[in-house]
Structure 1
Amino acid sequence: MTATPGTPSKQPYPPSSAARPPRRPTALRDSLTLMSLPVLAALGLSAAFAGGGTRRWFGGRSEGQRAEAQAAKDAAAAAFYELDTAQRDLRISIETITAVDDSPAARRAVSDFEALGRRIDEVSQNYIQAVDAHDLDRDDLEAAAASRARAQLSAAKDELVRVKQELDRFGGSLGPLLGKAETQLARLAPAVERARQSLLAASNALDSVREKGLRADDLAARLASLSPELTRLNQGAGQHGVAATLERAERVQREAGTIRAEAERLPEKAGEIDHRLVSLRTRAQALTTRAGQVEPVLSELRRRFAAACWQDLQQVPGQAGENVRQAELKLREAQTARDAQRWADATSLLSTVRALLNGTDEAVSAAGERLTRLNAVQKDPQAEIERTRFAIRDAQRLAMTGRTNPDPRHARPLDDAVGRLERAIGTLEGRHPDYWHFLTETDAVRQAVARVVAQIREERGGAH
């Protein structure tokens, strides 16, 4: 509302006794009164007939109409005030919603409030015009004019009341939107405070690790990148919006918490890298010694077994030596990175060293294991044969459990395994048997049988 009606008129009060002139003695006063009555009567009649400036008195009916009009005016003023107050309160609710919510429902609420505002302006203008159209304080107010004023003011009041009811209903419909908005606003201040505290904790954690001689430059740079976000948080939701400020506060808190955790773990991480450097350096030295033992193993394999048993191991000594040299080079680079406190680089280099040493260890171990297995099968091939046959028979019993005839899906691969084992046994005949081919075949047969067993158990487990 933009206009405010005038204040109700005030009836003049009679003069106080202090303003009255002092009375004359009684005898003199009475004589003057008796003498003045004919004169006053004559003056009064003369003035009445001459149309003088004295007030016209209309009697009780006119004053009654004036009082009723004044009552209607007061009632309309009260309705106007109540509507104005309700509109102001509801505008605060709408502003709360729009500060948080940009959903279609929120935009529709704003549009409906604006439409109600136009309706309020209309009835308010009607009320103000009704007030301005009638001067209830006029001395010569006629009864008919007072009656018209009462009617117009009563109609204006009724309009104000009806619009107030519409406004109340609309305000009631805003409950869910307003509740959601108020919830988010209630989260705002704590979220911003948590973000600030997280930034402070991260800064303190960095100071602590620096006191231990660790620079943590990358963490410091990440923390510095959050400074603009803190500035925006300090500028407040009024400038950036509640939803955006909440999201920013939560992100700052999360990222600052990560920086703090990494800073607190930095001394432990440095210790782990130091330990890995020592451990991998020792392992590389041990592998250098073991790699030197591969050549004698190969020599024995070449002397006692067919070429097919050792040809794939010919490159192991050279490759092992090269891998160890590469590992030692990467170890030196990792030590340099650690000294420069480039923790990510040091960790990556150490992972490369570990992979190189793992591959070398497997290759060196493979040569020794090959000789051990070939020695065992050369001495007693029957043990490997019986081990494989037992696996096949065990699978066949499982396939026949609860059945008269085996399932072809199980029987076929088991029959194939039997034939494959017999062919592998056949390769042992001759002056220079290929024991390594025999061992790889029996391994493959057992693996095929294990797959059939797993399939049977899976199917029977699903059936139950």
Structure 2
Amino acid sequence: MTATPAQPYSPSEARVPRPRRTLSPVPAGRRARRAPGPLRDALALAALPLVAALVLPAAFAGGGTRRWFGGRAENQRAEAQAAKDAAAAAFYELDTAQRDLRISIETITAVDDSPAARRAVNDFAELGRRIDEASHRYISAVDAHDLDRDDLDASTASRARADLTAAKDELGRVKQDLDRFADGLGPLLDKAETQLARLAPAVERARQALLAASQALDSARGSGLKADDLAARLAALSPELTKLNQGAGQHGVPATLDRASRVTREAEAIRVEAERLPERAAEIDHRLVSLRTRAQALTTRSEQVEPILSELRRRFTAACWQDLQGVPELAERNVRQAEDRLAEARAARDEQRWADATSLLSTARALLNTTDEAVSAAGDRLRRLNAVQKDPEQEIERTRFAIRDAQRLAMSGRNTPDPRHARPLDDSVARLERAIAGLQGRHPDYWHFLTETEAVRETVSRVVTQIREERGAGAN
């Protein structure tokens, strides 16, 4: 007879199982007859030893093969099993927390390569070693104690409970350290998640900017403009678009964000320039006409410089006009060079070399500005010399008024002026007096007089500015 497999013990298993009654089949067509009363009683007495032999062993076995050791051993088994369940729960919680935190660490390392991020990776690795040690202790405790053994005694169950409880406590301590570490990752994780959230929009903006640039370039070409330089710049962005399409998994999140930003800026610049090409062409045409007209006007004006110089030589000393002797030659040379640059700009415009055309126009304009200043200086010199020769007092009074005004400001709120202010003002008075004295004689140097009075007013103006700045700073 095969014994029933052992099952976890419970008090209900101590009751005696009822024997099963086997029924013999009744032949067909015949009704079973009951034995007479005395015969039935004899048969029951005869069957009693067999029934007892079957029932009594089962009663002591509790329905299985587990032995009965009493309540204390079973209580220790139950406590050990509870400790095992608690340790299993702690192990599961720690494993789940580690898995979740590993995702956070991978998110950070995908985005951030700062010292703080590298330190977090190292700290997580150290925690991983502690987790492995605690997990090994738990698994060893589970493997070392078979709580389902039939012959588990109270002392063995107590040791199992102690080992499993210690393993659970160690798992809990590591879990607390892991939770504290996770809390400290907040700023790094927020930064990484923010960058990841920026990734897809940044790449999409780059793609849209490239598309807009391509469309603007097509539109410019449709209006008859070549825009070869813009087309070359747009073609140079093609490898960058390929890398963007390959994704951050291959090139990294920071590099992909930088690439997307760079592509967006360059594509946007190309789009703006392509859209502005018709306007730029019209602007260059207008500047060509305007500068050519100005060159012609300066040619006419420069022809008047020589008569002005003749009058200066006749009426004033050499010091009044000597620095203007080279103006006619300078004007002629500059106008000729400006006209050459304008011709080159015209050719560059026809070839749609917009950058070259713009640069040449700027050079021509600078040459014409220099010529204009030189030609104007000759006429202005004659006008100022005529005015001071006719009435030098006007220039003198103008300069004296500036000095007196500065002196009043220097004395305002003071009994004595600050030497830093008084000294340059006193020097200016003396310098003006010397310039006035230079007007005496048969052939006065009026140009020296004018340059001296102008220099005096500039010195006085600097002193006034200094006084106001110092008093403004003191008020604050």
TM-score (norm 1): 0.81
Pick the aligned partner of 2:459 from 426, 433, 451.
Answer: 451
Distance in 2, matches of 1:240 and 1:135, equals 53
Partner residue in 1 for 2:92: 81
Matched, 1:72 2:86: no
Matches of residues 228-239 of structure 1 in structure 2 within 5 Å? 228-239=239-250
Over 3 Å counting, the alpha-carbon distance change for 1:168 and 1:33 in structure 2 is farther
Matches of residues 81-160 of structure 1 in structure 2 within 5 Å? 81-160=92-171
CA positional deviation for 1:333? 0.6
Q: Which moved more, 1:299-308 or 1:450-459?
A: 299-308
Partner residue in 1 for 2:334: 323
Pick the aligned partner of 2:395 from 385, 388, 394.
Answer: 388
CA RMSD between the two structures = 3.5
Task: For structure 2, list consecutive stretches of 5 or more residues without a partner in the other structure.
Answer: 1-5, 14-19, 25-31
Q: Deviations over 1:112-135 (max 9, x none)?
A: 211221121122122222222333
Over 3 Å counting, the alpha-carbon distance change for 1:440 and 1:34 in structure 2 is farther
The question of whether the paired residues in 2 share the 8 Å contact of 1:398 and 1:453 is answered with no
Q: Deviations over 1:345-390 (max 9, x none)?
A: 111111111122222233333444444455556xxx241x111221
SS at match of 1:426: coil
Q: What percent identity do the matched residue pairs reach?
A: 65
SS at match of 2:180: helix
Matches of residues 59-458 of structure 1 in structure 2 within 5 Å? 59-61=69-71, 62-299=73-310, 310-373=321-384, 381-383=389-391, 385-401=392-408, 402=411, 407-423=422-438, 425-427=439-441, 429=442, 433=443, 437-456=445-464, 458=466
The question of whether the paired residues in 1 share the 8 Å contact of 2:435 and 2:452 is answered with no
CA positional deviation for 1:214? 1.8
The question of whether the paired residues in 1 share the 8 Å contact of 2:87 and 2:164 is answered with yes
TM-score (norm 2): 0.79
The question of whether the paired residues in 2 share the 8 Å contact of 1:301 and 1:310 is answered with yes
Partner residue in 2 for 1:57: 67
Over 3 Å counting, the alpha-carbon distance change for 1:30 and 1:110 in structure 2 is farther
Distance in 2, matches of 1:366 and 1:409, equals 30
Distance in 2, matches of 1:272 and 1:452, equals 45
Matched, 1:462 2:470: yes
CA positional deviation for 1:203? 2.1
SS at match of 1:136: coil
Over 3 Å counting, the alpha-carbon distance change for 1:294 and 1:56 in structure 2 is closer
The question of whether the paired residues in 2 share the 8 Å contact of 1:391 and 1:446 is answered with no
Q: Which moved more, 1:20-29 or 1:335-344?
A: 20-29
Task: For structure 1, list consecutive stretches of 5 or more residues without a partner in the other structure.
Answer: 1-8, 15-19, 49-53
The question of whether the paired residues in 2 share the 8 Å contact of 1:205 and 1:263 is answered with yes
Distance in 2, matches of 1:325 and 1:443, equals 32
The question of whether the paired residues in 2 share the 8 Å contact of 1:421 and 1:445 is answered with no
Q: Deviations over 1:30-82 (max 9, x none)?
A: 9766433313545789999xxxxx82531553544444433333222222211
Partner residue in 2 for 1:6: none
Over 3 Å counting, the alpha-carbon distance change for 1:155 and 1:337 in structure 2 is same
The question of whether the paired residues in 1 share the 8 Å contact of 2:138 and 2:164 is answered with yes
Matched, 1:35 2:50: no
Distance in 1, matches of 2:44 and 2:76, equals 37
The question of whether the paired residues in 1 share the 8 Å contact of 2:77 and 2:147 is answered with yes
CA positional deviation for 1:248? 2.3
